[in-house]
Structure 1
Amino acid sequence: MNWMPYYRGDGRAREAELAPPPPWRTFPRQSEHAQYRPPAGMTDAVNAALHLRRPLLVTGPAGSGKSSVIHQVAHEMGLGDVLRWHITSRSTLAEGLYRYDALGRIHAQNLGHPSNGADQPSQDDIAPFLQLGPLGTALLPAGRPRALLIDEIDKSDIDLPSDLLEVLEIGEYEIPELVRYRDPLVHVREWGSRETREITHGLVQCSEFPFIVLTSNGDRDFPPAFLRRCIRFTMPRLTTDMLTEIVSAHLGRTSDPQAAELIGQFAMRIRQGEHLAVDQLLNAIALLTASDGPGGDQAEQLRTLLLRELARD
């Protein structure tokens, strides 16, 4: 079978209807709490973190499912939408807590335009130029803890884990711009929402410590002071049985001989130390075992393309 339903590389215009996407590539993105299968020991680690009000640090290779657990916990416990802070080498504690558009405020002052859009002289309202960050939103007082994913903490600047210590220990922070502001009460927009929360004298104090999951690919070591404040869990090496359960939860094709072969070969390559991600396996099975999927040499070429080791060019 020659699988060539869309682009053909001949420069001719044609209408091609795309097949439905795999479940994990539908948009807007949906939580996959029902498909997640926690590895052995993960539920105990989660419950320990919840009980002790400590962050959960999950370490494992890329694509091993480290960040998936928080969506299932948030769904099962009714913690609302998961807040996400994706870490880069430029991330700072301040941006995790709040964002302040100082230049925008200065520009509005210079123009003399009302910051709230009303037909009246500007009152220099600071609120439109402030937004809480994901960590800052998670620490707002609430009746239920919020769920916060701090993704790839090992990609951060060397100082960020240490900078987090005090905030995670005392569960509060100040917004200096509001501490100095003339009005004691300011409504500030939450992260990922149009909702605002009233902040008094620039101080935010949590009433329920959030459920925080930090993920790490294991690319660096963290200070002991940071590690002792976390519950730590290392993702186990994926086995054939674990991969079969994951594929079954997402695709339900594990009875297909070709899917079983792909799972077995994938597990063997992981045992041999290759760096592969679970979503590579899901992609390969979704494409290669489809009823209208490729066959022959084309299937082999696509298998090689989809299952390339991540640590090599």
Structure 2
Amino acid sequence: MNNLADRQYEGQGNDQKYEPLKDENGEEFPDIPRKKEPYIASKNLAEAVNDALYLRRPLLLEGEPGCGKTRLAYSIAYELGYPLKECYIRSTSRAEELLYTYDNIRRLYDLQEYKFIQSQLEEKQINNSPELTDAIERKKYVELGKLGEAIKLSAERDIPSVVLVDEIDKADIDFPNDLLLVLDRLQFEIKEVKDWKYDALRGEEREARKDFLPLIIITSNQEKELPKAFLRRCLFYYVDFPNEVDLRKIVVNHFKQDISPLFEVALNKFVELRGKISWRKKPSTGEFINWLRLLERRWQNEAITGEELNNTKLSQLPFLHTLVKNQSDRNAIEQLI
């Protein structure tokens, strides 16, 4: 715990550099990623992450789908040994749900059942039991959301987390505005229960508490423009698709081996293919890795060599269905000479 201020993100797919954070019983938090994340971050991206760590301000990531925005949060949490809290946004998501939900329907059902049982007991002149009285306690109907869990960890245990708010642009336009105060104050109150609130700052300045505060990573595919007031509270970074050098590093980290002649040819073909047509949906890094896996399997069965792949036209590449996901792009590739 005493080295929280020293933890820095490198993002080169390395082994876990820092000891994972532990609870009061000496046990690692269950939501700390255990599996090594073979993520390769550019120098500028790693710097942006460390700036967000230092300031403890949200980091907003934009970039084309599949460029690695979401995986970055896993990589940060794994490398720093922080718990990871994942919030996946839908079109119907409300900002309050990231903090907590209150199950009114279940409580209403329990109250009705409670009143029925109570009436039966009164007929038999039996006093309330503790189990029945507990049925109307409001706290039992509260479930914290992932951002709420992170604020609680900071407030009660001085434990920082990585909070992923994924694809914020899917939500209603009011969603970012509803998050503004929470991002600023890192506190919330559960309205349904009197005097129940969490404050990660504990009434202190952000600078004094920054090492214990959650690091919030927000991703967007630019489907909607985010409000200016929201942007003012964030650091921003546009994640470019990995260049050829970084793609090689990603391949080495995923397959735990140097680039084979087959993979070298496949990498060149992939880069060429991405630049040849005007895509409706460009293939992502994950799709590239899946393509390599299928090529590797065929190579293991002695059904393809690097030379054969090199002599194959782009339109006739094997397993194109792993890279091309609509007929418009397929038609464009088939027209390549």
Superposition pairs of residues 1-313 of structure 1, within 5 angstroms: 32-80=35-83, 82-112=84-114, 120-123=131-134, 124-140=136-152, 141=155, 142-179=157-194, 201-207=195-201, 208-252=212-256, 255-272=259-276, 274=279, 275-290=282-297, 291-292=300-301, 302-309=318-325, 312=328
SS in 2 for 1:91: coil
SS in 1 for 2:70: coil
Per-residue CA deviations over 1:24-50 (Å, capped at 9, x if unaligned) read xxxxx9655441111231111011111
Query: 8 Å contact 2:160–2:215 — kept in the other structure?
Result: yes
Q: Deviation at 1:268? A: 2.4
Instruction: Evaluate the alpha carbon distance shift between residue 219 and residue 270 of structure 1 in structure 2; reply closer, same or farther with a 3 A threshold.
Output: farther
Instruction: Evaluate the alpha carbon distance shift between residue 310 and residue 153 of structure 1 in structure 2; reply closer, same or farther with a 3 A threshold.
Output: farther
Structure 1, unmatched stretches of 5+, are 1-28, 180-200
- The list of structure 1 runs, each at least 4 consecutive aligned residues, that deviate by more than 6 angstroms after superposition, is none
TM-score by length of 1: 0.75
TM-score by length of 2: 0.70
Q: Distance in 1 between matches of 2:33 and 2:183?
A: 29
Q: Distance in 2 between matches of 1:152 and 1:240?
A: 26
SS in 2 for 1:41: helix
Q: Which residue of 1 aligns with 2:335?
A: none
Per-residue CA deviations over 1:86-136 (Å, capped at 9, x if unaligned) read 01111101111101111111111211279xxx8743331223321000111
Report the identity percentage. 29
Query: 8 Å contact 1:32–1:71 — kept in the other structure?
Result: no
SS in 1 for 2:86: strand
Q: Which residue of 2 aligns with 1:189?
A: none
Instruction: Evaluate the alpha carbon distance shift between residue 294 and residue 129 of structure 1 in structure 2; reply closer, same or farther with a 3 A threshold.
Output: farther
Report the number of matched residues.
Answer: 260
Q: Deviation at 1:66? A: 0.8
Query: 8 Å contact 1:35–1:250 — kept in the other structure?
Result: yes
SS in 2 for 1:139: helix
Q: Distance in 2 between matches of 1:87 and 1:166?
A: 19
Query: 8 Å contact 2:294–2:319 — kept in the other structure?
Result: no
Query: 8 Å contact 2:33–2:74 — kept in the other structure?
Result: no
Give the AA of the match of 2:142: L
Specify which structure has the higher proportion of helix. Answer: 2
Flag the structure with larger Rg: 2
